[in-house]
Amino acid sequence: MLVTKKFTFDSAHKLKNYKGKCRNLHGHTYVLYVTVSGNIDKKSGMVIDFSEINKVVEKKIISILDHNYINKIIKQPTAENISVWAWSQIEKYLKVYKIELWETPDSFATYYGE
């Protein structure tokens, strides 16, 4: 069973060694989907309480990236690299199946781990 929680955060970044518009400082309202996997517990009827996902992701990802300059945290903060970084922040706390990071309403990166 897969369970997904959605988060949003606002951050600024710029891409180094890039010739497009994103080489300049700019911001995004990112949408992050964190999907965890597991079996449904017979007693609770849940894989995991959504509040547990929320607690971990808010502490380990959102509180760090929200309203921040991502280049201070991730050297080349592309959607791909932010997704990998996000996974690394929570993988020891949650059984992460997938990270999906939307940079714009029509552009996103999906990471399934190594």
Tokens of 96: 């992460």
Assess whether 67 carries a catalytic annotation: yes
Q: How far is CA 73 from CA 39, 69, 85, 91, in A?
A: 34, 8, 9, 18
Given 13, 22, 80, 114, the catalytic residue = 22
Main-chain phi, psi angles of 72, to 5 degrees? -70, -20
Given 13, 28, 100, 103, the catalytic residue = 103
Q: Which of 83, 44, 86 is nearest to 61 (CA)?
A: 86
CATH of the domain at 106: 3.30.479.10
Assess whether 58 carries a catalytic annotation: no
Mean pLDDT by 10 residues, the chain (114 residues): 98 95 96 98 97 98 98 97 98 98 97 93
For the chain, give the mean pLDDT.
97
- In angstroms, the CA 55 to CA 99 distance is 16
The residue segments making up the domain with residue 69 are: 2-111
**Number of compact structural domains in the chain:** 1
* pLDDT confidence of residue 114: 83
Helices (runs of H) and strands (runs of E) counted in the chain? 3, 4
Given 26, 67, 80, 114, the catalytic residue = 67
